[in-house]
Structure 1
Amino acid sequence: MFSCKKDKKTLEDHTAFFGGEIINPSTNYIIIFKSSEIIDTVYLDSNNRFKYTFNDFEPGLFSFYDGKESQSFLIQPQDSIMVRVNTVEFDESLVFNGIGEKENNYLMDLFLETEKQEQEILKISQLEPKEFETKLSKIRDAKLEKLSKFNRKHKTTKLFNTYAKANINYNYYYSKEAYPFINYSENEEAIFNKLPSDFFDFRSEIDYNNETLKDYRPYVSFLRFHFNNIALQEHFKHSKDDTYNNQSLDYNLDKLTLIEQKVSDTFIKNRLLYYNMIKFINASKSVDDYDTLLKSFQAKSTNNEQKFKATKLVNSYKLLKPGQIIPDLMVIDKNEEAKHLKDIINKPTIIYFWDAMDRYHLKVSHERAKDLQKKYPEFDIIAISINALSSREQAEILQRNNFNLNNEYHFENVEKAIELLSLKPVNKVFIVDKNAVIVNPKANMFDVMMETELLGLINK
């Protein structure tokens, strides 16, 4: 590691330094980005180190991507931050040093702590509302007290506190919104009706138009779940439904309407509208409903690029209906040999996809595939990466996660494949027959109904 400048006076007011070392790098560069905009590509030197200077920049959360995984960091004027990370245990090994280290290490620890508490919160979500609230509030209060002590000990900035408090509060809000969906004691409507009258009082504290937090994961995740929830409550008022059905056209129309009513920030509103439009298209098997929701989306969104993409996706899905032959794309096997996708399908086949940036899905999808293969040997199961990787790079990722390379492929042309197969989100699964004819373009590996469908195909 090379040293950081400790004298802030040596750094200009609108300048900051970011550098570090990548242990076991997968590429010879890192990409620095903010939101979805790439700021720069920075190459590693012979010691796998890099350095970058921010000039005349807007302080806030940026991210760096090493070719396989990404993580965010807070950068402010006069900061001089060094990061050290081992890609084998990316998040767990990441450490910051230098001017700005304390704030970044705190935010990183908060991120890891929240991840570790997921199972605990899932468990307490099975409790009665009052007991759930009490235990959840204790978790939040402990984090707020810890933050208060940190602020008293260190001279922290207003921007840091904005992110730290948002992480604590919006994860707390998220857990409360998720409660009716996680508690399986009754249907969602019955659970809503049994909640204490003040259960959702926190909603009065929601800022739907927080530009500082617009890209912050806890805030974005909360808003998505929040609109799921309030749209469902609205839907129950004028429908006969009493359970959550994300494929209901009326429910999704309610959601788009509520987003338009409550969010005025153009960026946040358009992104929420687009996310929910795409989510519906990816989930619903009723092709006839696509145009109705698309019309509502186009009337509310002001983002022409997103409207174009949504229209293109709807037209693409119309070509992926059951009975159509799967698009004839080229895939690359573990030996770097190119093959037609149709040519590697010789019997009923399950095709699933994975993204190296989504470690959780990578692991659970491969484990599920292994389980399905044992139970249904009548099917082939094919895994295809949606990353622009070489076969060697793909093999390294799989071997690092203890998965073999059998029936593993990646696309010759990733962008074309994502477009033709509408591979957003990546958890989509195709079921095709021995002639590569689509049986189901939207199967779910983790849905018990999928196994029913597989048995039906076996018995045909």
Structure 2
Amino acid sequence: MKSNFLFLFVILIVCLTSCKKDNEDTSSGKAYFGGEIINPNSKTLYIIKSGVTIDTIYINNNNRFSYTFTDFEPGLFGFFDGKEYQNFLIEPNDSLMLRLNTLDFDESLVFTGKGAKENNFLIEMYLLNEKEDDKILGLGQKTAEEFDSIYRLSRDNKLEKLKRFRLKYETTKLFDEISEAIINYEYYAHKELYPLANYKISVLDAFENLPEDFYNYREKIDYNNEALKECSPYLSFLRFHFNNLALQNHFKHSKDSVYDRLDLHYNLDKLKLIDNTVSNEDIKNDLLRYVMSQFVNISKNTEDYDEMLQSFKSKSTNTKDIEMATNFVSSYKKLKPGNKIPIVKLLNKNEKEISIYELIKKPTIIYFWSKNNKNQLISSHKRAKELNVKYPEFHIVAINIDSISYEEQVNVLKHYDVRIENEYRFKTPIQSRETLSVKPILKVIILNKKGEIVNAKANMFNITFEQELLGLLNQ
């Protein structure tokens, strides 16, 4: 009861602080960030800037946390609870409190205190953008003019909402820049996506039939905006934008007219364009890392990996990214179809160490899960149960990737009411995750009865997954 009283007292002080004028002195270089997380996914909260964890906050037994920023650069930061990520804007003298329920993460997120109204506005824009993203494929069959009209009207409505907000409150230059960018770059991102959602014969045909002024906004793009390097709509736009630029460039020197996102030369063009266009190291490295990881995660053409890696290494200035990509490529080359699955050690329910080969007596499906990813944990186990009924010819194995005991493993599975048979965990999680390139966690490995890899990048939720299983059975 005492802790509850103290927490309410802190909120009262924060709210009183927030009533001061926004133009007060901001020279202190300090800001407060705290709040309450209901149903936390873990006991830690990571503060992230430019893709790097700058600090770790511990959530107490009352699900509350507090943190003080000192001598920091104002702008967008991120917080990550082990499963979900979200941005927040923090400026000097802010006293920002949040409250959220992880069962309804973004929709439940509410800020109070000084800086709250700005962050609540940004979250409102984020949720509106999220709804629009879900509709874009359904609007892909509209003409370019109809498509643009729909999203331009939406953009204009948001800008009008922002205008009213700025008339009501005294806002900072930084907030104005970020809020306008979130609205505009979301609109631009949709336009970059349109040809890929619309084409009927080829993407080349789709590009050639666009109105001449469709991409007029490209003339005023700032590729190096330091204030926006944490801004999701801005980064998403740049990724889609360079996809299109590289594709249009690729069509000029190739005989292709279709979109093959795994074409080596198209991806090399993309890396080159990013390197030649973007000078901000953080933004450039983020874009290069995204292109490289997407290619290696999806492409089965392991013979293309080395050339992509060499190009990536010559352009990225982030040594950790280069090391990660090098290890990634090395691991995936060992997971080439036809190769034997690398040996990793597992622990069974009796804490006995076994080799992964001891589980392969017939065609085998291996999927992975983590206690920190509840949705994937539940959905993958439910899907495995369906597959077990439909395809009894396969042995379906679940491997937990966390550093946990068998007792904790069982408790997690029981809590979510999913199966607990054929459940194992890595003996050495970090090393084994790297050996089997367990990223993304949705990745599934399909093996034949000899332990040879059929597909090390399968997805049990993909519409082609069952066709792969039938193909293996019919061999």
Residue identity matched to 1:89: D
- Do residues 148 (structure 1) and 163 (structure 2) align? yes
1:60-106 CA distances to partner (integer Å, 9 max, x unpaired)? 22223334433222111111111112222222222111111111111
Counterpart CA distance in 2 for 1:44 and 1:319 is 40
Residue identity matched to 2:225: N
Could you say which residue in structure 2 is the equivalent of 1:266? Answer: 281
Q: CA shift at 1:256, angstroms?
A: 1.4
Counterpart CA distance in 2 for 1:375 and 1:151 is 58
The counterpart of 1:129, out of the listed 139, 144, 148, is 144
The counterpart of 1:200, out of the listed 201, 211, 215, is 215
Query: Could you tell me whether the CA contact under 8 Å between 2:42 and 2:372 is conserved in 1?
Result: no
* Superposed counterparts of 1:338-353, under 5 Å: 339-353=354-368
Counterpart CA distance in 1 for 2:195 and 2:378 is 28
Could you say which residue in structure 1 is the equivalent of 2:457? Answer: 442
Counterpart CA distance in 1 for 2:390 and 2:405 is 31
- Do residues 104 (structure 1) and 119 (structure 2) align? yes
Q: Cα gap change, 1:295/1:395 in structure 2, threshold over 3 Å: closer, same or farther?
A: same
Could you say which residue in structure 1 is the equivalent of 2:40? Answer: 25
Residue identity matched to 1:63: G
Q: Cα gap change, 1:162/1:193 in structure 2, threshold over 3 Å: closer, same or farther?
A: same
* Superposed counterparts of 1:208-223, under 5 Å: 208-223=223-238
Q: CA shift at 1:245, angstroms?
A: 1.0
* Superposed counterparts of 1:248-397, under 5 Å: 248-331=263-346, 339-354=354-369, 369=384, 372-388=387-403
SS at structure 2 position matched to 1:135? helix
Residue identity matched to 1:231: A
Could you say which residue in structure 1 is the equivalent of 2:444? Answer: 429
Could you say which residue in structure 1 is the equivalent of 2:108? Answer: 93
- Do residues 455 (structure 1) and 470 (structure 2) align? yes
Query: Could you tell me whether the CA contact under 8 Å between 1:124 and 1:132 is conserved in 2?
Result: yes
Could you say which residue in structure 2 is the equivalent of 1:185? Answer: 200
Counterpart CA distance in 2 for 1:386 and 1:440 is 20
Counterpart CA distance in 1 for 2:352 and 2:184 is 50
Q: CA shift at 1:254, angstroms?
A: 1.2
Could you say which residue in structure 2 is the equivalent of 1:239? Answer: 254
Q: Cα gap change, 1:114/1:401 in structure 2, threshold over 3 Å: closer, same or farther?
A: farther
Counterpart CA distance in 2 for 1:322 and 1:110 is 44
1:379-408 CA distances to partner (integer Å, 9 max, x unpaired)? 233344545556677677767777545555
CA RMSD of aligned residues (A): 2.9
Q: Cα gap change, 1:367/1:199 in structure 2, threshold over 3 Å: closer, same or farther?
A: farther
Counterpart CA distance in 2 for 1:380 and 1:148 is 59
Residue identity matched to 2:53: I
Q: Cα gap change, 1:304/1:358 in structure 2, threshold over 3 Å: closer, same or farther?
A: same
Query: Could you tell me whether the CA contact under 8 Å between 2:447 and 2:454 is conserved in 1?
Result: yes
Q: Cα gap change, 1:71/1:333 in structure 2, threshold over 3 Å: closer, same or farther?
A: farther
Query: Could you tell me whether the CA contact under 8 Å between 2:50 and 2:282 is conserved in 1?
Result: no
Aligned length: 460
SS at structure 2 position matched to 1:279? helix
Query: Could you tell me whether the CA contact under 8 Å between 1:334 and 1:409 is conserved in 2?
Result: yes
- Do residues 59 (structure 1) and 59 (structure 2) align? no
Name the % identity: 51
Query: Could you tell me whether the CA contact under 8 Å between 1:69 and 1:357 is conserved in 2?
Result: no
Query: Structure 2 stretches of 5 or more lacking a match?
Result: 1-6
Residue identity matched to 1:379: F
Counterpart CA distance in 1 for 2:243 and 2:304 is 19
Counterpart CA distance in 1 for 2:219 and 2:417 is 47
* Superposed counterparts of 1:71-90, under 5 Å: 71-90=86-105
SS at structure 2 position matched to 1:117? helix
Residue identity matched to 1:127: K
- Do residues 70 (structure 1) and 74 (structure 2) align? no
Counterpart CA distance in 1 for 2:321 and 2:281 is 13
SS at structure 2 position matched to 1:38? strand
Q: Cα gap change, 1:376/1:129 in structure 2, threshold over 3 Å: closer, same or farther?
A: farther
The counterpart of 2:432, out of the listed 417, 421, 424, is 417
1:277-328 CA distances to partner (integer Å, 9 max, x unpaired)? 2322222222222222222223333333333332332222222222322223
Counterpart CA distance in 2 for 1:362 and 1:242 is 40
**The 10-residue stretch of structure 1 (288-297 or 122-131) with the greater mean CA deviation from structure 2:** 288-297
Q: CA shift at 1:370, angstroms?
A: 5.3
Query: Structure 1 stretches of 5 or more lacking a match?
Result: none
Q: Cα gap change, 1:130/1:367 in structure 2, threshold over 3 Å: closer, same or farther?
A: farther
SS at structure 2 position matched to 1:315? helix
Could you say which residue in structure 2 is the equivalent of 1:37? Answer: 52
SS at structure 2 position matched to 1:186? coil
SS at structure 2 position matched to 1:84? strand
Residue identity matched to 2:428: N
Counterpart CA distance in 2 for 1:56 and 1:383 is 46
Q: Cα gap change, 1:247/1:53 in structure 2, threshold over 3 Å: closer, same or farther?
A: same
TM-score calculated relative to the size of structure 1: 0.89
Residue identity matched to 1:60: G
Q: CA shift at 1:347, angstroms?
A: 2.3
Q: CA shift at 1:428, angstroms?
A: 2.8
Could you say which residue in structure 1 is the equivalent of 2:4? Answer: none
TM-score calculated relative to the size of structure 2: 0.87
**The 10-residue stretch of structure 1 (355-364 or 378-387) with the greater mean CA deviation from structure 2:** 355-364
Counterpart CA distance in 1 for 2:302 and 2:66 is 50
**The 10-residue stretch of structure 1 (216-225 or 25-34) with the greater mean CA deviation from structure 2:** 25-34
Q: CA shift at 1:39, angstroms?
A: 2.9
Residue identity matched to 2:395: D
Counterpart CA distance in 2 for 1:30 and 1:258 is 36
